[in-house]
Amino acid sequence: MSDTNWYVLKSISGQENKVKTYIENEMKHHGLEDFVTQVVIPMEKVIQLRNGKKVPKEKPYYPGYLMVEANLAGEVPHIIKNIPGVISFLSLTKGGDPVPMRKSEVNRMLGRMDELSEFAVEANIPFIVGENIKVIDGPFNGFNGTIEKLFEDKKKIEVSVMIFGRKTPMELSYMQVEKV
């Protein structure tokens, strides 16, 4: 079918996979598989530290968005919009017609996905001094703190954590903390 375009679908963040499955099942159920040819969630691989081990994990590159290749004829947009977890199609005006992505955007997005799946990137989170973080690994797991210094060359940060009511500075790696 050549009248398909790529559209961006907004969903509730964290429900992207559920929405993808729902769309695929609904289209089968209505015999409309020809109208929705692909549902894609661009993913990126990140390395996280869990209990001292590096764990590769995939997470949506654009949380809350799915890319749908479809011919939005007849009932198709209506069915998709009524799927649980779907907020709306990306459009120029609120509730307006879905806007197809430009070919260059689609290629960039799909190209980006290939790149992202090939290289698991070490999560080099650009933290900023004064930012609040939570320790997710090591003996102070679960503690919240404030970033005091950045050591970008070492991918480490100095964090002050409240321990027994006193601010205690400690050096942690980027992977041992996450933004609050």
Query: DSSP string of 32-80?
Result: -TTTEEEEE--EEEEEEEETTEEEEEEEESSTTEEEEEE---TTHHHHH
Are 170 and 157 in contact by the 8 Å Cβ rule? The answer is no
User: Can you tell me the distance from the alpha carbon of 40 to that of 31, in angstroms, rounded to the nearest whole number?
Assistant: 20
pTM: 0.61
Could you tell me the fold of the domain covering 132-179?
A: SH3 type barrels. (2.30.30)
Query: Which CATH architecture group holds 5-122?
Result: 2-Layer Sandwich (3.30)
Instruction: Please name which of 166, 138, 119 lies closest in space to residue 174, comparing C-alpha atoms.
Output: 138
More confident site: 125 or 15: 15
Domain range summary for the chain, segments of one domain joined by +: 5-122, 132-179
Domain 5-122 and domain 132-179 have a common topology? no
More confident site: 98 or 126: 98
Q: What pLDDT sits at residue 3?
A: 83
Kindly report, residue by residue over 42-63, the tens digit of the pLDDT.
888 888 777 888 888 888 888 8
